[in-house]
Chains A and B, each alone.
Chain A
Amino acid sequence: MHVRKLLPALIAGIAMVAGAAQAEVKVGVTLSATGPAASLGIPEKNTFELLPTTIAGEKITWIVLDDGSDTTKAVTNTKKLIAEDKVDVVVGSTITPNSLAMVDVVADAETPMISMAASARIVNPANPKTKWVFKTPQSDALMADAIAVNMKANGVKTMGYIGFADGYGDGWLAEIKQSAKTAGINIVAEEKYNRTDSSVTGQVLKLVTAKPDAILIAAAGTPGATPQKELVARGYKGRIYQTHGVANPDFLRVVGKDGDGTILPIGPMLVYEQLPDSNPLKKTAAEYIGKYEAKYGPGSRTTFGGHAWDAYLLLQAAIPEALKKAKPGTKEFRAALRDALESGKEVVATHGVYQMSPQDHNGLDNRARTMIKIDNGKWVLVK
């Protein structure tokens, strides 16, 4: 009988111990490790496997889910992370459409979110919904501006554009139109293509006949090589620009020698060895890339993994602040975490120096971009 009476007490005791153990910070991650954006999502997933399990002495649990580059799945994942796992913060997703769809969910649940996708529309304009949303990658506008500035400095008067027939391409087209106008550059041809197209001959012929001084290819990953190789095959002699979306070793492998001389804007982390020692990013980038390449092989670095690591660095700075105010797993903690992310304290990360404010939930400035060119199959800093 004694044992029977003890049982409920025992269970209650265990529950209390378990409850105490649950006082850990839970980070829910949804990313696109499969589907069309897999080449971006896989290095991000790899990066989450490198992360430490404690921040400021507090246990951190990373719950990583795959959304298959699918918007509906990203929303389901987010709902699951918030409702079932009761996470304190959501990180993700890899691509813009998914991240945009997640904004409503996290705002309703009053949970902060850090996106790893590029578009400025994820965090702008500031309103009660985007109040909860932050993002680590450079906005397309920042990068488009860098391209236009470089073109102008090199005497480019007319440019052609070829990009993905999707959100990535359309976003870039809108940004480069704006930046080109500011720089006084005329866009003489606009063409579109699909990632899996078997030929871009038609588009490239049209670009070449318009005779622009420079051509911008707006694509992500190896598909960016298709129009580039076609341009070279058709004897185009002008300057070729790519976007930061292609900056991975597979692009270099596929484009081969046809890529030489291509110029693109990039987060400085990719070429951290070539940065001057005075650059604060050099140390953080060296730490991240050192860890990443130790596990996944030399030359395996990508900028996408850097966005994931930067999300971690932002959390590493914000979580200790939030812990001072509330216990993890509570509404108050999530609000405190959001406030800490927005506090305006400088965070030196791998892609740039973040300084968030209520109006700017990206917080990057010109330190987050640098121009590089491909030289003999290697990324070289343009001085």
Chain B
Amino acid sequence: MDFSIFALLTQDGITNGAIYALLALALVLVFAVTRVIWIPSGEFVAYGTLTLAGLQLGRPPGTIGLLIGMAVVAGAMEVYGCARRGDARQILRQLLVWTGIPLAIAGAAWWLATPSLPFWAQILVALALVTVLGPLHYRIAYQPLAEASVLVLLIVSVAVHFALTGLGLWFFGAEGSRTPAFSSETFQVGEIIVSVQGLFVVFTSIALIAALYLFFGRTLFGKALRATALNRVGARLCGVSPNLAGALTFTLAALLCAFSGVLIGPITTVYYDSGFLVSLKGFVGAIIGGLVSYPLAAAGALLVGLLEAFASYWASAFKEVIVFTLIIPVLLWRSLTSHHHEEDE
């Protein structure tokens, strides 16, 4: 192995690591606020790429159908809830929020999905479509069980994962897609060839992480989410609605995942079921951060990316084995260093 190969592999590892880092952040965020281990995060990555690829072909992507279906179900659940509480005034408002807004976004995307749409607008439309699925699937699958134990929520996650994978096959088909690169330029620093695309991925990830940091530190909604993460009951007593916190968390997390999808599209071919493996690697990163620490999770994800790049060079047949075996020493180390406390739920 000479230096140029080392540099290329490092670059590849960091690029992938940056994408895993976004996923790791989304997983930590969701777990901290709602205690959901969000297995379907990978589906949102795949949906992000496939939606953008669909828009690229100049036709309305399958996501629109899914969005309409979920909006109708969520609206119906809200109406039923309001009717049972006898709260007639709320019905219209909830219908507007849960069905009206998603349908408006779906309609706008349908109208915009023409071949003449510029690339940056296609990205925005794809992000909007996939992001709205986040709170919708939270409302349908998780919110009715929000007080259940972590284990129950995990099982719900597995079910949602399988449902979304199946729907992905239905809406996007079995074959994969790629999206064009933001830039195919490369430039040379000394002996190293650096791709602009890779830099773009890394800097976008850093920018998103910084934006999240500001959101949680400086805004009211961010502080409310942090309060819920620290103490659900206490936050509720202070007037933070757990349902709103959940929906907001899933919106943010879905946005992060959809963005990963847009970033990963030009690097590899994405299939309706590609997301699972990507999200598992993000999960390994999140576990390194103990599912609580954002910086540690991001660092862990970067480590996963680098390990994967070098493993694929030295022992491609055992690449996944090496990456996922990483979790065992990490768990050992964490269980030895952290204080154990029973979950009392």
Contact = CB atoms under 8 A, between A and B. Distances in A.
B312 A202 contact: yes
Interface centre among A36, A165, A191, A222 (most CB of B within 10 A): A222
Contacts of B312: 193, 197, 199-203
A24 B317 CA distance: 50
A343 B44 CA distance: 53
B271 interface: yes
A206 B15 CA distance: 19
Interface string B8-20: 1100100110010
Interface in A197-256: 197-203, 205-206, 209, 221-223, 225-226, 229, 248, 250, 254
A195 B309 CA distance: 16
Contacts of A248: 175
A165 B316 contact: yes
B273 A254 contact: no
Contacts of B319: 193-194, 197, 202
B269 interface: yes
Given A226-B269, A254-B178, A201 B12 contact: yes
A196 B16 CA distance: 13
B169 interface: yes
A194 B277 contact: yes
Given A34-B169, A205-B5, A223-B176, A198 B16 contact: yes
A157 interface: no
Interface centre among A39, A195, A201 (most CB of B within 10 A): A201
Contacts of B12: 199, 201-202
B91 interface: no
A281 to B, nearest CB: 26
A192 B313 CA distance: 10
B268 interface: yes
Interface in B152-200: 166, 169, 173-178
Interface string B310-328: 1111101101100000000
Interface string B270-282: 0101101110000
Contact of A225 (B169, B269, B320): B269
A34 B12 CA distance: 32
B316 A250 contact: no
Nearest to A206: B313
B46 to A, nearest CB: 9
Interface in B9-37: 9, 12, 15-16, 19
Interface residues of A, number: 32
B74 interface: no
Interface centre among A194, A202, A226 (most CB of B within 10 A): A202
Contact of A223 (B166, B169, B269, B310): B269
B16 to A, nearest CB: 6
A94 B108 CA distance: 40
A42 interface: yes
Given A198-B19, A209-B5, A250 B176 contact: yes
A222 to B, nearest CB: 4
Nearest to B177: A254
A194 to B, nearest CB: 7
A222 B269 contact: yes
B140 to A, nearest CB: 22
Given A196-B271, A196-B273, A205 B9 contact: yes
Contacts of A225: 176, 178, 269
B167 to A, nearest CB: 11
Contact of A192 (B271, B276, B316): B316
A183 interface: no
Interface string A180-197: 000000000001111111
Interface centre among B9, B271, B274, B316 (most CB of A within 10 A): B316
A222 B175 contact: yes
A38 interface: yes
B267 interface: yes
A105 B184 CA distance: 53
B5 A36 contact: no
A34 B267 contact: no
B132 interface: no
B115 to A, nearest CB: 15
Interface in A280-302: none
Given A209-B5, A254-B175, A254-B178, A191 B316 contact: yes
B264 interface: yes
A196 B165 CA distance: 14
Interface centre among B16, B308, B319 (most CB of A within 10 A): B319
Contacts of A194: 277, 319-320
A195 B271 contact: yes
Contacts of B9: 201-202, 205
Contacts of A196: 271, 273-274, 276-278
Nearest to B4: A205
A36 B277 CA distance: 13
Contacts of A195: 271
A343 B295 CA distance: 70
Nearest to A205: B5
17 contacts: A34-B169, A36-B273, A38-B174, A39-B174, A41-B174, A197-B277, A197-B312, A198-B267, A198-B278, A199-B268, A199-B308, A201-B8, A202-B309, A205-B9, A221-B175, A222-B176, A254-B176
Interface of A: 34, 36, 38-39, 41-42, 165, 191-203, 205-206, 209, 221-223, 225-226, 229, 248, 250, 254
Given A34-B166, A201-B309, A254-B175, 8 more contacts: A42-B173, A191-B316, A192-B317, A196-B274, A199-B12, A199-B267, A199-B312, A205-B8
